[in-house]
Every structure is written in structure tokens, then in C-alpha cells.
Amino acid sequence: MNSPDTPLPYARGPVLGAAFGCLIVLAPMALSAHSFQAFFSLGGLVIVVGGVIAVAFMSFQAEDVHDALGAVGAMLREPHSDHDALHGDMLDIIRWARLGNTRGMRELGTSLDAEGIDDPFVKYGLNMVLSGYTQEDLRSMMETAAEAGYERESAPADVLRAMASHAPAFGMVGTLVGMVAMLGSLTDNISSIGSTLAVSFLSTLYGVVSARMIYIPAASRLQQDVDVRHFRHQMVTEGMVMLVANESPSRIQDRLNGFLRPEARDYLDVLASPSVAGARQDFTLRTDKARTAQSRHLRAVSQ
């Protein structure tokens, strides 16, 4: 699991998507104008970008706005969380269960101190396990921590969605400002009206493009990362509860396999092993017969 502060490499999919989107937007500009300078307006950029950021700071906490702006830059990078990393988390929990069952919780705590746990949620869960809480108490505390973390981490995505909704509106503001300025300086010479009118409409273009190609994709990527991390926290919570119950490593593995993708699950497939399936079926039949004989004996004794 990557730390949120660790710089990540760029992801191929988002980079290709951004490049293709820019190509779609820039190609008509290149075909319809003699130069790209016709599509540049410093005043329009200031109104749209500055207005959106100003409203964001007015509407949300400064920390959430900073995180949202950071998510824009991280939009093209690999996510911090993914479903493929869940298998490694499952193996860690199984290893801790094996160590706790063979050497005891005290030895497990000593081993964890020497190992060092960087993930805050996992570290919190292991501390609750070693503190001797019951299964119900541990599940309640970890679910509370998971839900609280989900709400905090979702706030920057809400900021980005709000910025996406404000960007086209500030684009219209820039257009109106340009129209008012043009009409205020209107004279008998109308030769410059066309170019001035084109510049005034650039603000609307900036607002729509920034909302659809920057803020909304960044919000979606961030929300997906948060959702995957919340799903991982659910799996870790289940594993910690089973650690407290002193469940066997094989039982923990079978339970946590349900959180993994079907192709990533690691378990004994009895359907693909007829001999194992037959042995398990024979064991089940013998167990049922033994229970039936025991119940008959108890009825005979009672009579």
C-alpha cells in the first residue's frame, strides 16, 4: 500500500485520455484559426480560474480546497489504492493469525513492534486487537474509524464537483464583462467588433472545458481512490475481528477471499479436485451418522 505522500508514476490510461481530449479540443482550433493566440485571453483565464478558486475557499475549508487542487495534479498518476493490493493485506492478516495462534498475542505484539506498521488504519486495528477488546467492540470502533475516514477523504471530491459546477457560470461572467466592455467602447468604427466579441466568448469556452476536462475527471479519480480505500478498510476490519476470535489462518483466508476479485482468490478449489471433494463428502457423511447415532443413544437413555 502506497503512502499518500509517496510520489507515484503516471498512469497510462489517464495520460492517454488527457492527450486524446486535448487533441480533440485543439484540432478544431488549429483548423479554424491562423494561430492559437486567437484562443488565448488572459482576462478570461483570470476570471474563470480565479473566480472558481475564490468561491471554493468561500464554501469549503481551506484544507479541503488544498487537497482538491492537489488531486488535480495527481489525476494523471497511479492511484494510491487498488483492488489488486488487497491480496497482500490478506496475506499479512493470515501471517499475524498464524503467529498469534502459535506464539500468543504477546509475541504477536513484539513481532509487530519490530516489524513496524506504517498504515494508520491497520496500526489502529492491531492496537485494538492487542488491547483485549471483544469482537463486537472492535468491529464497532473500526467501522466508526472507517466511516469517519471515508467522510473526510470524500470532502475534496465534493470541492472538485462544486468547482465543476461554478466554472461555466464564471465563464458566462467573463463573457458578460467582455460584452459590457465592448459596448461601452463602441464607436462608429465597427471593424474591431468581431475580434473583441470573439475574445469575450473565450471565457465561456474556458469554463466549459475546465469543468469537463479538469474538475470532473479529477473528482471521479479521487472518489474512486477513496472508495477503494474504504473497501479495503472493510476487509481489514473483518480480518481484525477474526484475529480477536482466534480463528484459524485457513478460516480467515476463506473469509477474506470473498473481498478479492474472483481471479485473485487463493483457496482450495474442491470442485476442481474430485479426490478432495470426495474425501470432504465422506467426512461429512461420517459426521452426520455419528450425530444420528448419538441422538438415538440419548433418546434411549432418557426413556
pLDDT digit string, tens, across residues 236-272: 999 999 999 888 888 999 899 989 888 778 765 655 6
pLDDT at 1: 45
Gap between the Cα atoms of 14 and 217, Å rounded: 9
pLDDT at 294: 54
The segments of the chain whose pLDDT lies below 70 read 1-8, 29-36, 80-83, 186-192, 194-196, 267-303
Sorted by sequence, the CB contacts under 8 Å of residue 2 that are 6+ apart come out as 8, 80, 81
Q: What region does 132 belong to: left with phi over 0, alpha with psi -120 to 50, or beta? A: left
What are the extents of the domains in the chain? 10-37, 41-267, 272-302
How many angstroms from the chain centroid is the CA of residue 124? 20
User: What's the pTM?
Assistant: 0.76
Dihedral, CA of residue 54, residue 58, residue 62 and residue 67, to nearest 10: -60
Do you know the residue count of the chain? Answer: 303
